[in-house]
Structure 1
Amino acid sequence: MVNIAQGHESPPSITTQRPEHAARHQPRPPVVPDTAFSVTGRTATATRYLLAGIRLALGWVFLWAFLDKLFGLGRGTAAANSWLDGGSPTAGFLGKAAAGPFSGFYHSIAGNAAVDVLFMAALLGIGVALLLGIGMRIAAAAGGLLTVMMWTAVLPPESNPFMDDHLVYAAVLAVLALLGAGTTLGFGRRWAASPLVRRNTWLR
């Protein structure tokens, strides 16, 4: 660089600022928000109602299974095999259809009175909880356990090496609980605001 006042070339300026110090003062690039799960407006409303519809549909699946086995409505259980007429809700499936590495265990508990009561109570409780939108965490945990056990009762599945609808049901139940699907078209907010649930948050 030429110094006009002195008429001779001046030495080049030396930057003493450390590279890391200079980099620290450089403006940061703008942060781009992750919009994968941030939905607003109409999309958020549609998502809430979609989740509520899935919740109601699954609730009806569980409740219908209970009613059919209790009364023998003829869809999956004949009237003569209804629970009220002395039939066993678990004897048919676990005693005859169970196959695979866990078949011995399921055959041994098929038709057991205590197992029948637990199975029917689970169907009723999960179905009612999902339809009302209350106790979603418990319903998701119990429903996930029940559907995974039903998956293990017949391995491998008939139409796939390992995947079937029972595992999908378990995953969907978990999503419904995590996203609070009981607050839309359900009593989830009232349930969460009740003194009992506020003292015991695991009941949500």
Structure 2
Amino acid sequence: MAERHTRRLTAPAVNQPTETTRQKATRYVWAAVRLALGWTFLWAFLDKTFGLGHSTEAKAAWINGGHPTQGFLKFGAAGPFKGFYNDIAGAAWADWLFMAGLAGMAVALLLGIGLRVAAVAGGLLYVMMWTAVLPPETNPFLDDHLINATVLTGLALIAAGDTLGLGKLWARLPLVQRMPWLK
């Protein structure tokens, strides 16, 4: 019998730190937060598009000729920016930007890709929604819109798309490697 020599196909691990249980749990908690925010954007998009009856009735659905920005911006806006928001309520360009933003942020958050872009776009949307109702109803300054804008930023900074998402795969794409702001 001939002696068979095998060689190692993978390099031995060199000083790779072992992830603790706490670190792993933290990754999964932030992935769950990312997915939850993604669902809120997806639900808003679906409800406004199809009028699923939660916040938007079928007759006011976007596919039935409704204007997704009209209700809130026309009747819900208050405070110093009320005139601005009333003026853009129901404008076709505002409807398209709003709906594209909701869909884009939902996809990015649910898939765990493009979180930096989603954090900027989502943060801007949340801040605009905050300014539409100044001062907030339950607090003189802070509300859930500013908190969610901050959470989006944190999700992008910690690469929350790498856990339960496609973030690692996305980061390896040549386009994303050339333009890291797309991570």
When the two structures are superposed, what TM-score results if normalisation uses the length of structure 2?
0.89
| 1:77 paired to 2:56 | yes
| Higher RCO (Cα < 8 Å, 6 or more apart) | 2
In 2: Cα distance, 1:125 partner to 1:40 partner? 32
User: Paired residue for 1:151, among 130, 143, 146?
Assistant: 130
The secondary structure found in structure 1 opposite 2:80 is coil
Instruction: For 1:180, give the aligned amino acid.
Output: A
**Mapping 1:2-21, distance limit 5 Å:** none
Give the share of equivalent positions with the same residue, in percent. 64
Task: Name the counterpart of 2:75.
Answer: 96
| 1:111 paired to 2:86 | no
In 2: Cα distance, 1:171 partner to 1:203 partner? 19
**Mapping 1:132-151, distance limit 5 Å:** 132-151=111-130
1:50 deviates by 0.3
**Mapping 1:1-204, distance limit 5 Å:** 40-204=19-183
In 2: Cα distance, 1:186 partner to 1:124 partner? 17
Contiguous gaps of at least 5 residues in structure 1: 1-38
Task: Name the counterpart of 2:12.
Answer: none
The secondary structure found in structure 1 opposite 2:27 is helix
* Bigger Cα displacement from structure 2, 96-105 vs 39-48: 39-48
In 1: Cα distance, 2:19 partner to 2:151 partner? 22
Residues 34-84 of structure 1 deviation map (CA, whole Å, 9 limit, x = unaligned): xxxxx9500000000000000000000001000000000001100110000
When the two structures are superposed, what TM-score results if normalisation uses the length of structure 1?
0.80
1:116 deviates by 0.2
In 2: Cα distance, 1:104 partner to 1:149 partner? 14
Task: Name the counterpart of 1:33.
Answer: none
The alignment covers a number of residue pairs equal to: 166
In 2: Cα distance, 1:112 partner to 1:55 partner? 30
1:199 deviates by 1.0
In 1: Cα distance, 2:133 partner to 2:115 partner? 27
Instruction: For 1:109, give the aligned amino acid.
Output: I
Contiguous gaps of at least 5 residues in structure 2: 1-17
Write out the 4+ residue segments of structure 1 that deviate beyond 6 Å after TM superposition: none
Residues 112-148 of structure 1 deviation map (CA, whole Å, 9 limit, x = unaligned): 0000000000000001100000000000010000000
In 2: Cα distance, 1:203 partner to 1:162 partner? 32
